[in-house]
Amino acid sequence: MVITAAVLTLTLSGCDWRYVFGLGWPNGITPESHLMRNLWVWTVITALVVGVIVWALMFWTAAAHRKKKGDTELPRQFGYNMPLELALTVVPFVIISVLFY
């Protein structure tokens, strides 16, 4: 079923194999266009890697910390985890800084 859906998506969308690895970026003529295409492709790849990591951590957290049978008490509540808050602020800032440098 998944293979059928993938084949139908590919054929009905009018995708051409020459453009698959451009990830939506058209073929250019100038040297600058090739540099911009490389930037685009690596940005998309980086975004996909970050997305896969985030989704994997979400599913792992949901599976590892689900409520156990017979467990009636709430988990320990905590706030102001400074290292975590700094990491969640600095890492996106670094990613955006690298992208727009």
The 10s digit of each residue's pLDDT in 41-80 is 888 888 899 899 999 999 999 998 887 788 888 878 877 8
- 3-class DSSP assignment, residue 2: helix
The two three-digit tokens of residue 65, written as one number: 């910390």
The percentage of the chain sitting over the pLDDT mark of 90, rounded to a whole number, equals 21
- Structural domain span for residue 42: 19-64+80-101
When pLDDT is cut at 50, 70 and 90, the band that residue 14 belongs to is low
In a domain, 60, yes or no: yes
Q: How far apart are CA 95 and CA 27, in angstroms?
A: 27
For the chain, the domain total comes to 1
pTM of the model: 0.59
In a domain, 14, yes or no: no
Tally of residues, the chain: 101
Exposure string (b/e) for 63-87, b if CB count within 10 Å is 16 or more?
eeeeeeeeeeeeeeeeeeeeeeeee
The two three-digit tokens of residue 101, written as one number: 């440098």
In a domain, 74, yes or no: no
